[in-house]
């Protein structure tokens, strides 16, 4: 189904215009003629209104990047149509395809395998031994990547968990597959707001494009992939494609989930990663999301937020500082 966002985007892509300004109601370079000033102000006010809805529904705070994207998307749309559309957006559910289409355009899906090598080695050397010790009776490790984008982080976490289990004697290589010992299992759950990103995550096929998923791939990670042939119609010339092997994929599941929801999609998680997304949210929303993540976790479970995000609910966690940054151990305080 074609949405208003698609229509506006195709109008803009036919006549590309430079990104212009922020939402502050001042003349933008693209709207510098005097007779256009009123129109540009009206556009900015409408975008401001829409942005309020984006923040309330998806947490993404108004920022120059998001504002520029919106200005670019809507600049060529007739003002009356845009006004009607913003009004109807205000009245429709967050799950409506118009909101979904808008959020697909506003979210940043940047991710790649082994994105932070120090963090990954901390995961293998500090966090996983802690979790394997915690779970040595239940023999199950449950992982949630709470903004998994196109899936790389979920496969990284699954592979790292299996490798740590192998090191501890709880998994072994069998016929080229790294498999848990009898009774042990790993379950990794990936969620994101973007359906497009989730489709890629589920397909588990990645191309070796220059600055793509493989830009930082260590040699030890390569056993997770197999070569795959893509139909010439879908393949980019000169790009090789690789698929995550079945023995990793079978431990994973992906679903759509909006972090603004205060009921977690899963409970009893042992390891929760929520990296490179809370930076787009204001503090009160960050705090609400961290509370929801705490609710999803088992006592002793570990939360990783990345180095640049402050822990705003310290009452639920004990902080540790490892060689790859901070990690947080869930205490037994009820949320």
State the Cα–Cα distance between residues 121 and 18, nearest whole angstrom: 42
Rule CB under 6 A: say whether 107 interacts with ligand SAM: yes
Q: Considering only residues 130 through 169, tell me which ones interact with ligand SAM, judged by CB under 6 A.
A: 147, 149, 153
CB of 256 to ligand SAM, least distance (A): 8
Candidates 87-95, 193-201, 224-232, 234-242: pick the segment binding ligand SAM (CB under 6 A).
193-201
Binding to ligand SAM, residues 47-76 (CB under 6 A): 58-60
CB of 147 to ligand SAM, least distance (A): 3
Coil, helix or strand for 229? coil
Contacts (Cβ under 8 Å, ≥6 apart) of 275: 115, 116, 147, 153, 304, 305, 306, 309
Note whether 194 binds ligand SAM by CB under 6 A. Answer: yes
- The site map against ligand SAM for 246-285 (x = CB under 6 A) is ------------xxx--------------xxx--------
**Site size with ligand SAM, rule: CB under 6 A:** 22
* Residue in the structure block whose two tokens are 């759950």: 189
Per-residue contact string for residues 207-246; x = within reach of ligand SAM by CB under 6 A: ----------------------------------------
Which secondary structure element, helix H or strand E, spans residue 84, and what is its range?
A: helix 79-91
**Pairing state of beta strands 317-322 and 325-330?**
antiparallel
Beta strand pairing call for 269-273 and 297-304: parallel
- Report, in Å, the least distance between residue 23 CB and ligand SAM: 19
Decide if 318 contacts 331 (C-beta within 8 A). Answer: yes
Closest CB to ligand SAM among residues 153, 270:
153
How far apart CA 150 and CA 115 sit, in angstroms, is: 13
Closer to ligand SAM by Cβ: residue 170 or 225: 225
User: Taking contact as CB under 6 A, which single stretch among the options 92-100, 107-115, 127-135, 159-167 is the one that binds ligand SAM?
Assistant: 107-115
The residues in 6-35 that bind ligand SAM, with binding defined as CB under 6 A, are none
Please give the full DSSP string across 316-333, using - where no structure is assigned.
Answer: GEEEEEETTEEEEEE-S-
- Is 110 a binding residue for ligand SAM by CB under 6 A? The answer is yes
- Is residue 115 a contact partner of residue 308, using CB atoms and an 8 Å limit? no
Distance CA 150, CA 152 (A): 6
We find the least distance from the C-beta atom of residue 27 to ligand SAM, in angstroms, to be: 31
Three-state secondary structure call for residue 186: strand
| Residues 6 or more apart in contact with residue 210 via CB below 8 angstroms | none
Q: How far is Cα of residue 164 from the mean position of the Cα atoms in its chain? A: 24
Q: How far is the CB of 58 from ligand SAM (least distance, A)?
A: 4
> What is the nearest approach in angstroms of ligand SAM to the Cβ of residue 182?
32
Per CB under 6 A, residues contacting ligand SAM are 58-60, 107-111, 115, 147, 149, 153, 192-194, 197, 258-260, 275-277
């Amino acid at each position: 189904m074609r949405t208003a966002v698609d229509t506006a985007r195709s109008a803009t892509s036919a006549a590309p215009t430079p990104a212009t300004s922020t939402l502050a109601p001042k003349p933008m370079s693209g709207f510098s003629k005097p007779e256009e000033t009123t129109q540009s102000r009206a556009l900015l006010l409408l975008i401001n209104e829409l942005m309020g809805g984006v923040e309330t529904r998806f947490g993404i705070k108004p920022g120059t990047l998001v504002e520029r994207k919106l200005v670019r998307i809507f600049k060529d749309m007739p003002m009356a149509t845009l006004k009607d559309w913003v009004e109807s957006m205000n009245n429709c559910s967050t799950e409506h395809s118009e909101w979904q289409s808008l959020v697909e355009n506003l979210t940043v899906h940047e991710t790649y395998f082994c994105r932070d090598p120090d963090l990954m080695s901390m995961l293998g050397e500090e966090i996983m031994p802690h979790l394997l010790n915690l779970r040595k009776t239940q023999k199950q490790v449950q992982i949630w990547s709470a903004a998994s984008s196109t899936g790389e982080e979920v496969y990284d976490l699954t592979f790292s968990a299996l490798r740590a289990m192998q090191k501890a004697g709880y998994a072994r290589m069998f016929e080229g597959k790294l498999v848990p010992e009898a009774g042990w299992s790993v379950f990794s759950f990936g969620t994101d707001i973007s359906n497009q990103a989730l489709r890629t995550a589920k397909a588990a096929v990645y191309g070796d494009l220059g600055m793509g998923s493989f830009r930082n791939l260590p040699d030890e990670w390569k056993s997770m992939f197999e070569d795959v042939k893509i139909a010439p119609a879908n393949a980019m010339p000169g790009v090789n494609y690789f698929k995550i092997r079945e023995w990793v994929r079978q431990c994973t599941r992906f679903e759509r989930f909006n972090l603004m929801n205060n009921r977690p999609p899963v409970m009893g998680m042992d390891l929760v990663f929520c990296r490179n997304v809370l930076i787009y949210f204001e503090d009160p929303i960050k705090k609400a999301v961290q509370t929801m993540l705490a609710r999803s976790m088992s006592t002793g479970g570990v939360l990783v937020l990345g180095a640049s995000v402050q822990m705003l609910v310290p009452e639920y966690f004990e902080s540790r500082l490892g060689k790859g940054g901070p990690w947080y151990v869930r205490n037994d305080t009820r949320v």
